[in-house]
Amino acid sequence: MSCWIGVDLDGTLAFDSGWLGPDEIGIPIPQMLDRVKRWLDEGRDVRIFTARVSMPEEEKIARKAIEKWCKKHVGRVLPVTCVKDMHMLELWDDRAICVHHNTGEVTDMHSSLIERYRSTE
């Protein structure tokens, strides 16, 4: 199995206007959409990584909506998951904090984000 890139949906690939239901997805975020399309053109395995499919009672509705959204905006249906595995190469997410492997140390890239967050508390 090849490595894959996980891309969060709400707030990363699609604008997040708050929870409106499992079948309501915002418009694409152009910069991220272009990045995903470029990866796909390069032959990379890109998957939607979202908690929307983690709720059994809403999973089918959410999955169908995400697949329809992908077909319309990406040009093809992407695999959808809420589960990491050992083949996930990276995750693009608006809520993630990156740490150095095996250290627990926050990477410099995200230190400024943490400081900005703490200053608003």
> What is the band of 121 on the pLDDT scale with cuts at 50, 70, 90?
very low
Average predicted confidence (pLDDT) for the chain:
88
Q: Does domain 4-95 have CATH number 1.10.3720.10?
A: no
For residues 4-31, average pLDDT: 93
pTM of the predicted protein model: 0.83
Domain coordinates of the chain in residue numbers?
4-95
Q: Cα–chain-centroid distance for residue 82?
A: 10
| 8 Å CB contact between 29 and 14 | yes
105 DSSP 8-state letter: P
**Distance in angstroms (rounded) separating the CA atoms of residues 70 and 42:** 18
Confidence of residue 99 (pLDDT cuts 50, 70, 90): confident
In the predicted model, what is the mean pLDDT of residues 86-111? 82
pLDDT at position 31: 96
Arithmetic mean of pLDDT, 1-20: 91
Contact 12, 93 (CB under 8 A): yes
